[in-house]
A and B are shown apart, each in its own frame.
Chain A
Amino acid sequence: MQFPSLELLGQSLLSGLFIGGLYGLLGLGLSLSWGMLRQINLAHFALSFLGAYLTYQLSSSFGVDPLITLVIVAPGFFVFGMAMHWVFARFKVTPFNSLLVTFGLTVIIESFIQWVWTADYRKLESHYADIKFKVGAMYIPLPELLTLLISVGLALVTWAVLRYTPIGKAMRAMAENPKMAAAFGVNEPMLALLLSGAASAFAGVAGACLALSFTLAPSQIYAWIGVVFSAVMIGGLGNPIGPLVAGIVIGMSEAATMAVTAPAWAPLVSFTLLIAVLILRPGKI
């Protein structure tokens, strides 16, 4: 094994930091719905890609700035998330069944994407892609930087809302003990709808970030599931900051592995970390 230069290691770690931010952003909504609503929402990934395709379409057909597309996509997804939760609540879908139902929804969304945009690759050509900053010997591409900032910003805001606002405290009480919370006047059905809507809106935001940096294909939906699930489980269910921190740890570990040894070893990192966490702190997940 040859030790990499500082420049190579630094640039690789930066790359890992950025992709870790995206893991965290994808994991944020998933963690909230899993930890606080007891819904294991596999469709979160499909929604993210649907958001990415909508960003691509609005941007390439109508010239809308990719970030401005969020003004349309995020509220739309918020409503979709609320509707989805209403259906789940109406039919009393259990956590395990939510996994099956949302898998079905994933397949439907994937088919819809393929029907509209075909299975061929789509690449959003935006002015952001050409901008990068040079700090010393390191390059910082703007789309990745934006993704990281959005991811950190959303995680912190969500954490603050849950911790310091009355509605956030009510949501946490609802997640802890719905019946007791209801006895204290917490409107559990309404809060659950809001939380599900927010989780879906986060998927839309993650989609815009995906479109900024990646070439899109419908089947790519499944490429992210394993590593983001690891980030969510390592970070802790229902914890807005945890998936981001775990995502960054995984991303940087994978990147360091790729910089030092064969890149084929990188996927082992996230799952080894997950197993280690499951063994060492099972109660924290």
Chain B
Amino acid sequence: MTFFASISRRSALALSATVAMGLGTAALAAPSGTPVKVGGTLALTGPLSATALIHKLVGEIYVEDLNKKNGLLGRPVEWVLKDDQSRPDLARTLYEQIVTVDKVDLLIGPYATANILSAMGVAQRYNKVLIHHTFGIPSLAKYDMHFPTWATGHVPEVTLPNMMFDVLNAGPKPPKTIAIVTSKFPATHFMSVGARDIAKKRGLSEVLYLEWEFGNRDFGPIASRLKEAKPDFIWAGVIALEGMLLLDAMKKIDYPAPQMFHYLPSPGPMLKSPDAKNALAVTIFEQHAPMMSNFGATEFAKTFNERAAKAGLPDTQVDTQAAASFAAWQVLEAAVNGTKSFDDKVLAAWLKKNTVNTIQGPMRFDGPSNYGDDLSKIKQVQNGEWVVIWPRASAKPGVKHLLP
């Protein structure tokens, strides 16, 4: 007797009713009505575009997921995304367009400090809430309805260098001398100037301080100066490609990096480069315990890994950029669900009073400039992967700070 033949008529009726009820419930849960428009830009082209792929993918995953569930307050979500070409001036124009022509209900930020600042000006003019990712200079954010989801705290130029030097002091070989080399890209320069002050206060002897213009092509002379200065520790205020170019130049003159911190490197290429062995950097999220227990991390990481591989990204792991982007959408959803409203002033008031559980951990916006806790961590390249080594509570189980 087959399985189907063994089912009684009554059982079959009961099963059909259950399936029908399930389908009915699903139909009720599906979002309907006029879509809620969420508008924003990303640097899809131009010098910052490598990172845009990550933010775009995260946004697509989140919006798809929202629409599979109940959307926002039962309405489907439409993401109005435009390309700001990595240009702050264009970001400003596009945000004007998004508000006045596309008439979006909600704004979501671009990434990178200058573009966010441009968008913030527009948001302020139209009294819109702006939830944004990876803003590097908190003191520049004066608008009271902006909400940063790169949880760096409001004085990262003090807290991050202090954290880095704490790591070094607790490590196997605390440095006595430091070289600070930095791009003049605003966010990295700001942080390196902060590191310079903190290093002095903590008694480190500065043997070299250099600045270069963003877009520098020849890192040979900078590598040679580092080699001659012989620092115990290098603070490299690099962004994107610059870290790899500097490491390449150091390799060409047979100068293996001592302990070296890269502020905003491109994480994928560094993982593949043997020259970046045990390099240090800052992060807010890495795809390992204990952070994988954070809100939404497991499901998101699984989807992101698959979609990133399909999109051909060299590094498919969730890290700072993806986590900041994901948290922005989580904060937006939490505020709308928490208030049952799309009104910007209501949303802003709610966000200032409530803690939101995100992939980075619980986020608050009740401090200076709407910044809350500093959730930064120090990570290191170890055996071909980025692992958090500090603070110890967030470190990957079993790892410790290694010397190059």
Asked whether A141 is an interface residue with its Cβ less than 8 Å from the other chain, the reply is: yes
Minimum CB distance partner of A140 in chain B: B252
Asked whether B29 is an interface residue with its Cβ less than 8 Å from the other chain, the reply is: no
Question: Within the assembled complex, what's the spacing in Å between the Cα atoms of A11 and B269?
Answer: 26
Which residues of the other chain, B, contact A4 by a CB distance below 8 angstroms?
Answer: 225, 228
Which of A120, A141, A266 has the largest count of B CB atoms less than 10 A from its CB?
Answer: A120
Contact B244–A123 (Cβ < 8 Å) = yes
Question: Within the assembled complex, what's the spacing in Å between the Cα atoms of A139 and B269?
Answer: 24
Contact B225–A121 (Cβ < 8 Å) = no
Contact A224–B217 (Cβ < 8 Å) = yes
Asked whether B23 is an interface residue with its Cβ less than 8 Å from the other chain, the reply is: no
As a 0/1 sequence over residues 216 to 242 of chain B, the CB contacts with chain A under 8 angstroms (1 = contact) are: 111011101101100000000000110
User: A121, A215, A251: which contacts B218 (Cβ < 8 A)?
Assistant: A251
Contact A11–B224 (Cβ < 8 Å) = yes
User: B44, B220, B311: which contacts A15 (Cβ < 8 A)?
Assistant: B220
The smallest C-beta distance from B242 to any residue of chain A, in angstroms, reads 10
Minimum CB distance partner of B242 in chain A: A215
User: A18, A139, A215, A259: which contacts B225 (Cβ < 8 A)?
Assistant: A259
Question: Within the assembled complex, what's the spacing in Å between the Cα atoms of A189 and B269?
Answer: 46
Asked whether A12 is an interface residue with its Cβ less than 8 Å from the other chain, the reply is: yes
Contact residues of A between 233 and 260, Cβ < 8 Å to B? 251, 254-255, 258-259
Which residues of the other chain, B, contact A264 by a CB distance below 8 angstroms?
Answer: 184, 211-213
Asked whether B49 is an interface residue with its Cβ less than 8 Å from the other chain, the reply is: yes
The smallest C-beta distance from A4 to any residue of chain B, in angstroms, reads 7
Contact B53–A16 (Cβ < 8 Å) = no
Asked whether A219 is an interface residue with its Cβ less than 8 Å from the other chain, the reply is: yes
Asked whether B46 is an interface residue with its Cβ less than 8 Å from the other chain, the reply is: yes
Contact B50–A266 (Cβ < 8 Å) = no
The smallest C-beta distance from B219 to any residue of chain A, in angstroms, reads 8
Which residues of the other chain, A, contact B249 by a CB distance below 8 angstroms?
Answer: 15
Minimum CB distance partner of B253 in chain A: A139
Known pairs A4-B225, A114-B49; A215 contacts B241 (CB<8 A): yes
Contact B241–A121 (Cβ < 8 Å) = yes
Which residues of the other chain, B, contact A144 by a CB distance below 8 angstroms?
Answer: 252
Contact B211–A121 (Cβ < 8 Å) = no
Question: Within the assembled complex, what's the spacing in Å between the Cα atoms of A100 and B11?
Answer: 74
Asked whether A193 is an interface residue with its Cβ less than 8 Å from the other chain, the reply is: no
Asked whether B81 is an interface residue with its Cβ less than 8 Å from the other chain, the reply is: no
User: B212, B215, B220, B272: which contacts A11 (Cβ < 8 A)?
Assistant: B220
Asked whether B47 is an interface residue with its Cβ less than 8 Å from the other chain, the reply is: yes
Which residues of the other chain, A, contact B244 by a CB distance below 8 angstroms?
Answer: 121, 123, 215
Question: Within the assembled complex, what's the spacing in Å between the Cα atoms of A114 and B44?
Answer: 10
Asked whether B254 is an interface residue with its Cβ less than 8 Å from the other chain, the reply is: yes
Contact residues of B between 153 and 190, Cβ < 8 Å to A? 184
The smallest C-beta distance from A147 to any residue of chain B, in angstroms, reads 13
The smallest C-beta distance from B283 to any residue of chain A, in angstroms, reads 18
Contact B222–A215 (Cβ < 8 Å) = no
Asked whether B12 is an interface residue with its Cβ less than 8 Å from the other chain, the reply is: no
Question: Within the assembled complex, what's the spacing in Å between the Cα atoms of A7 and B254?
Answer: 13
The smallest C-beta distance from A57 to any residue of chain B, in angstroms, reads 12
Asked whether B313 is an interface residue with its Cβ less than 8 Å from the other chain, the reply is: yes
Which residues of the other chain, A, contact B33 by a CB distance below 8 angstroms?
Answer: none
Minimum CB distance partner of B252 in chain A: A141
Question: Within the assembled complex, what's the spacing in Å between the Cα atoms of A111 and B85?
Answer: 12
Asked whether A177 is an interface residue with its Cβ less than 8 Å from the other chain, the reply is: no
The smallest C-beta distance from B269 to any residue of chain A, in angstroms, reads 5
Asked whether A190 is an interface residue with its Cβ less than 8 Å from the other chain, the reply is: no
The smallest C-beta distance from B265 to any residue of chain A, in angstroms, reads 10
Contact B252–A254 (Cβ < 8 Å) = no
Asked whether A267 is an interface residue with its Cβ less than 8 Å from the other chain, the reply is: yes
Asked whether A263 is an interface residue with its Cβ less than 8 Å from the other chain, the reply is: yes
Which residues of the other chain, A, contact B349 by a CB distance below 8 angstroms?
Answer: none
Asked whether B28 is an interface residue with its Cβ less than 8 Å from the other chain, the reply is: no
Question: Within the assembled complex, what's the spacing in Å between the Cα atoms of A5 and B221?
Answer: 12
User: A134, A263, A267: which contacts B210 (Cβ < 8 A)?
Assistant: A263
User: A139, A215, A251, A266: which contacts B212 (Cβ < 8 A)?
Assistant: A266
Contact B213–A267 (Cβ < 8 Å) = yes
User: A139, A220, A223, A227: which contacts B254 (Cβ < 8 A)?
Assistant: A139
Contact B220–A219 (Cβ < 8 Å) = no
Which residues of the other chain, A, contact B212 by a CB distance below 8 angstroms?
Answer: 258, 262-264, 266
Which residues of the other chain, A, contact B272 by a CB distance below 8 angstroms?
Answer: 123, 125
User: B213, B248, B314: which contacts A120 (Cβ < 8 A)?
Assistant: B314
Known pairs A5-B228, A258-B222, A259-B221; A118 contacts B311 (CB<8 A): yes
The smallest C-beta distance from A231 to any residue of chain B, in angstroms, reads 13
Asked whether A14 is an interface residue with its Cβ less than 8 Å from the other chain, the reply is: yes
Contact A218–B49 (Cβ < 8 Å) = yes
Asked whether B245 is an interface residue with its Cβ less than 8 Å from the other chain, the reply is: yes
Asked whether B268 is an interface residue with its Cβ less than 8 Å from the other chain, the reply is: yes
Question: Within the assembled complex, what's the spacing in Å between the Cα atoms of A224 and B241?
Answer: 15
Contact residues of B between 236 and 277, Cβ < 8 Å to A? 240-241, 244-245, 248-249, 252-254, 266, 268-269, 272-273
The smallest C-beta distance from A260 to any residue of chain B, in angstroms, reads 9
Asked whether A132 is an interface residue with its Cβ less than 8 Å from the other chain, the reply is: yes
Asked whether A119 is an interface residue with its Cβ less than 8 Å from the other chain, the reply is: yes
Contact A120–B313 (Cβ < 8 Å) = yes
Contact A7–B228 (Cβ < 8 Å) = yes
User: A14, A213, A217: which contacts B241 (Cβ < 8 A)?
Assistant: A217
Known pairs A16-B220, A264-B213; A215 contacts B46 (CB<8 A): no
Question: Within the assembled complex, what's the spacing in Å between the Cα atoms of A8 and B211?
Answer: 17
Asked whether B41 is an interface residue with its Cβ less than 8 Å from the other chain, the reply is: no
Question: Within the assembled complex, what's the spacing in Å between the Cα atoms of A267 and B315?
Answer: 33
The smallest C-beta distance from A167 to any residue of chain B, in angstroms, reads 35
The smallest C-beta distance from A149 to any residue of chain B, in angstroms, reads 17
Asked whether A198 is an interface residue with its Cβ less than 8 Å from the other chain, the reply is: no
A-B contact pairs, 12 of them (CB 8 A): A16-B220, A18-B220, A114-B49, A118-B313, A119-B50, A120-B312, A121-B241, A121-B269, A141-B252, A213-B248, A218-B49, A264-B211
Apart from A123-B269, A264-B211, list 16 A-B contacts with CB within 8 A: A8-B225, A15-B249, A19-B217, A19-B220, A114-B45, A114-B49, A121-B240, A132-B252, A213-B248, A215-B248, A219-B45, A251-B218, A255-B218, A255-B220, A255-B221, A258-B221
Q: Which 3 A-B pairs have the closest CB atoms?
A: A15-B220, A258-B221, A119-B49
